[in-house]
Amino acid sequence: EISACLVGSEMCIRDSLMGDVNLDGRVNNDDVTLLNKYISGTVIFNETQIIAADVTNNGEIDFNDYSCIIRYVTGNSNIVVEE
């Protein structure tokens, strides 16, 4: 299965920045931490956060989204797909 990853510094969908799950206008370690909490079930996201978190655009928020955001935050933004 191939799923798209976050690409570029300003991928926007419906006025939210892809990967910006805390909705502060930036994609950074704070988003990674919050997404980890969501995946583990300790926080609940609103609709905007759910859209921003689904960077693979497959309708699910999971480790693939988490992995894509980590890669972006660590400067490996040239990753376009993951297998």
Sequence letter at residue 35 = L
Residue that the structure tokens 């956060």 belong to: 49
d(CA 40, CA 43): 8
CA 26, 75, 65, 55 torsion-angle sign: positive
Question: Cα 56 to chain center, whole Å?
Answer: 8
pLDDT per residue as tens digits for the range 12-55: 444 568 899 999 988 899 999 999 999 999 999 999 999 999 98
The residue ranking higher by pLDDT, 83 or 30, is 30
Report field, pTM of the whole predicted structure over 0.85: no
pLDDT of residue 12: 44
